[in-house]
Structure 1
Amino acid sequence: MPMHGSYNILKFETYEEYLQSFAKVEEHRYLGNKKVIGELVKLGYRSHVPILEKDEFLKCRQRLRQFLNPKVIEKLFSVYRTSDDPALVALADREEPNVLMRLSTIICIQTRRRNGSDISGYIDYADSLRACSQDLLGATNWRAIFEGRIMLQPNRTHLSFYDWHRGTVTFNHSDNYEVINYGGRLMFKHTTDHKIVPVTDTESIYQDNVKRTIIESPMYGLMVLYDHCVRKPF
């Protein structure tokens, strides 16, 4: 029986096949209706194992396939780096492992707008790189950042965005992370290995899931990088 996040998920071509794998022969005999059986499975009446929702199932299959058959990287954005600024060097060092999903980096950054107001936020690096490579609307232009033509700035589509002038905060899930509130603290849960990643220097039971690195940068001031080594599902 497939476990949550198991490689067995790859055996199922559709979400309906996945749900039916939890059903028993007796249920098909007495209920007969696959849709009804599937609803019972989703409600947790037929298994002690957490049942994936359809979008979680599809994302998990996609990620497992990427783990087993990682795409060849044609060209990294960091090859265009023109500066030895420590922040850009650190991001360049992390680009390939983030693209290959071996490492998952969360960027914490605070910048000042032209009008003098400050903004800050947390950025899912791998998610942002992927959006740029796919030319998605509103994606961060990482080539231009490494070339030094524009500065990296957080925005309202990132994991977290705080406008210091207006006092407003925005949170968003990404392909790699779910935003969670744990005891009043902001944390993120990785969607592949389900590890909790705290973004603070305060001691936590989850602190071993992440390495916190502070970068002093002439271009960006202080940038904090939270590196999580992604464990393959088992």
Structure 2
Amino acid sequence: MTVGLLRPTQVLDLHPRPWKQDGTQRSSMETTITAKLFHPSVHKSLPEHTPGKRQSDHMGYDTNSVWLQCNAVVIAAFNNTDAERTERSTAVRFRDSMAQFKAYEDYLDSKVTPMDLFYLKSRELARKLVEHGHKGTVLSREEFEEKKAAAQAAKSNALYNRSRPVTLASAGKELKDNFLKALAEREEANRSGKMTSVIFIRDHNTLGQEVSGYIDYAHRLKTQDFEPYFSGKKRLMPGRSDLCYYNWKTQVSTSGSSPNFEVIYDDPNGLLFKNKRDKKILNVDPLSGPGEDSNRTFLQSDLYIHVVIYDHNIRTV
């Protein structure tokens, strides 16, 4: 979804028009969010950004521009409908529920109500009615056994992966940049599940376009080889598949949840990330605290214009 947003240093219209650059009309929610992002109460007078300049010495500009630039990506999230989010959450709950049934009969019993037993006087008869679809769509015995086996296999793989020694991509690397050092310090904790870190990066891509976004570090570690990043052969940059992404040149913005975080884009407080394991909120607004069991670290880096790391510690019972 492409939305015509202004840079923080070019905010002139404090009451966004209901029409986008492509001629289509904004939804009322889009207009409200855009007005909130660029209202004078959420930013100060900011100095003009100098192309090619790295970390700004003006911390007020840094923190406010980070919030304004990163919250811009929330507009794209309106493509995710409530129905889509409900469907995803329902699928997750169904997969997790398979582990609690020891046998197919237990699965059928979960759909039998006390009222059924009162009138039918027989649990076996109640199970038969459920199995034959009189209480709605249910899995056949074969489908149940297949899905239960898949759930058990996934659980076994997870336990096996946790017990294996963690291989660190940063091991043996001589790191000089503060950002790479910070990633190395957090690599083991993110790989083992003790911590989930969100990385904010603002810099120019290979085409010279300024981009910014939030990266789920733990998820990237599982899906990418980080040896080229730690060795300096590649640069870690936000992309369209990350939690949030915005290209200030093309005005393309995307947003999507990861295995570790749910993106909350319609909260009055702005952009939030909800940890899927402990359900706690990570707040990326620099004017607010990062949230319970979370820390925010601003880093001075020679590799990027701006870098911030949010660490969320997972408590173990």
What is the TM-score with the length of structure 2 in the denominator?
A: 0.54
CA-based RMSD of the aligned residues comes to 3.6
Q: Deviations over 1:15-66 (max 9, x none)?
A: 99678547545446755315665779xxxxxxxxxxxxxxxxx99x968984
For residue 77 of structure 1, give the secondary structure of its aligned residue in structure 2.
coil
Q: Any unmatched runs of 5+ in structure 1?
A: 41-57, 133-140
Change beyond 3 A, Cα 1:64–1:111: farther
Change beyond 3 A, Cα 1:179–1:38: farther
Tell me which protein shows more helix as a share of its residues.
2
- Give the Cα–Cα distance (whole angstroms) in 2 for the partners of residues 77 and 36 of structure 1: 55
Q: Which residue of the partner structure matches residue 150 of structure 1? A: 234
- Is 1:219 the counterpart of 2:316 in the alignment? no
Q: Deviations over 1:134-171 (max 9, x none)?
A: xxxxxxx4110000011111110000110010122100
Q: Any unmatched runs of 5+ in structure 2?
A: 1-92, 121-125, 139-149
Any residues of structure 2 matched to 1:1-234 within 5 Å, and which? 10-12=99-101, 21=110, 23-24=112-113, 26-27=115-116, 30=120, 32-34=129-131, 66=158, 70-79=162-171, 81-132=173-224, 141-181=225-265, 182-183=267-268, 185-203=270-288, 207-232=291-316
- Give the Cα–Cα distance (whole angstroms) in 1 for the partners of residues 103 and 307 of structure 2: 42
Q: CA deviation at 1:178?
A: 0.9
For residue 292 of structure 2, give the secondary structure of its aligned residue in structure 1.
helix
- Give the Cα–Cα distance (whole angstroms) in 2 for the partners of residues 90 and 122 of structure 1: 16
Q: Deviations over 1:150-208 (max 9, x none)?
A: 1111110000110010122100111111111211611111111111111121226x723
Q: CA deviation at 1:87?
A: 0.4
- What is the total number of aligned residue pairs between the two structures? 201
Q: Is the 8 A contact 1:67 1:101 kept in 2?
A: no
AA matched with 2:130: N
- Give the Cα–Cα distance (whole angstroms) in 1 for the partners of residues 246 and 104 of structure 2: 37
For residue 154 of structure 1, give the secondary structure of its aligned residue in structure 2.
coil
Change beyond 3 A, Cα 1:203–1:22: farther
- Give the Cα–Cα distance (whole angstroms) in 2 for the partners of residues 87 and 115 of structure 1: 22
For residue 239 of structure 2, give the secondary structure of its aligned residue in structure 1.
coil
Q: Percent identity?
A: 30
What is the TM-score with the length of structure 1 in the denominator?
A: 0.71
For residue 242 of structure 2, give the secondary structure of its aligned residue in structure 1.
coil
AA matched with 1:227: D
Q: Is the 8 A contact 2:200 2:213 kept in 1?
A: yes
Tell me which protein shows more strand as a share of its residues.
1
Which range moves more in the overlay, 168-177 or 11-20?
A: 11-20
Change beyond 3 A, Cα 1:221–1:14: farther
